[in-house]
Amino acid sequence: MSAHTVTAYSADIRACLAYAEAEFALQNIGDLTHLFIKSWLSGLMSDGMDARSVRRKISALKTYYRYLLRHQLVDYNPMLKVSSPKVSKKLPNFIEASKMEVILDIAEAKKNEKNDAIAQDIVLTLYHTGVRLSELINLEKRHISLSQSLLKVTGKRNKERLIPMTAELSTILQPYLELHPESPFVFNTSSGKKLYPNFVYRVVKDLLSAGSTQRKNSPHVLRHTFATHLLNNGGDLNAIKELLGHANLSATQVYTHNSVERLKTIHKQAHPKGRLK
């Protein structure tokens, strides 16, 4: 699993065990029952945690107990009696093309104002490629070919994929290939150290908030925006699947719903009968 998943799962497991110890004086992992776990999850949902976050915690615990059983550290799996809450399907958050143009103009203006352009170049790279946060942070200089206009990223399950680069992106990335020669990574901090997730989250949020009013402004929104804009401009769904590194087409098909909703909006606004509703 990715480092991000490992960190998240570890935190979930520790939180559950801390709850069981504090509330039920649990001292042995083998004594943890499905009732304890359900009590913890119920409390989280009562406090307003959404179903997706609860499902992730259940997934973490299921993974944990598979490990414990495999190594014969427990003889009972309480997760067999714990079911996941249903999650309503939500359309991916993305930025409209017109608003994205405003954001790109703001990014270009800020690049001209500052000597340090890394914040703007990170946003541009995410939008141009649709890569995940972890893929951006781990992008290596040796995996960029300016002559072929291609970059290679390593995604989930260590699956590698090639992503074409526009002429603009090649120009953006070229200086970083010579910057901080001691580091194998394309993007680094000013001191030459590898980027960390919070840095990327912060710069993305600051720039997107300057040109968009939507509440969620994370690196993943740019991935959704990349995919939705490709699809809206006639991109082939299978090709988009490969660019995103999805294992299954069903994961990519969620973006078609954004296009359908967009068509519905246009139809309602433009059709004489639609405007009467």
Nearest partner of 29 among 65, 71, 70, judged by Cα: 65
- Please tell me the distance from the alpha carbon of residue 38 to that of residue 209, in angstroms, as a whole number: 38
Q: What amino acid positions are annotated as catalytic residues? A: 132, 156, 220, 223, 246, 255
Mean pLDDT for the stretch of residues 31-43: 93
List the strands of the sheet with 150-154, edge to edge: 144-145, 150-154, 160-164
Which residue matches tokens 């703001």?
A: 106
Mean pLDDT for the stretch of residues 164-171: 94
Contact 68/113 with Cβ under 8 angstroms?
Answer: no
Mean pLDDT for the stretch of residues 5-28: 91
- Please tell me the distance from the alpha carbon of residue 153 to that of residue 228, in angstroms, as a whole number: 20
The residues with which 151 forms a beta bridge, in sequence order, are 144, 163
pLDDT of 139 reads 96
Q: DSSP string covering 112-160, please?
A: HH-S--HHHHHHHHHHHH---HHHHHT-BGGGEETTTTEEEEE-GGG-E
Question: Considering only 15-29, 41-55, 116-130, 208-222, which range has the smallest mean pLDDT?
Answer: 208-222
Amino acid type, 12 = D
Which residue matches tokens 């006639």?
A: 234
Residue 166 tokens, joined: 């526009």
Residue 164 has pLDDT above 70, yes or no: yes
pLDDT of 162 reads 96
Domains of the chain are 3-81 (1.10.150), 97-269 (1.10.443.10)
CA angle, 78 then 82 then 84, to 5°: 145
pLDDT of 24 reads 87
Mean pLDDT for the stretch of residues 5-30: 91
pLDDT, one tens digit per residue, over 47-63 is 989 888 999 999 999 99
What letter does residue 203 receive in the DSSP assignment? Answer: H
Mean pLDDT for the stretch of residues 213-226: 88
More confident residue, 259 or 251: 251
- pTM of the model as a whole: 0.71
Residue 277 has pLDDT above 60, yes or no: no
Mean pLDDT for the stretch of residues 76-90: 86
Residue 232 tokens, joined: 């809206």
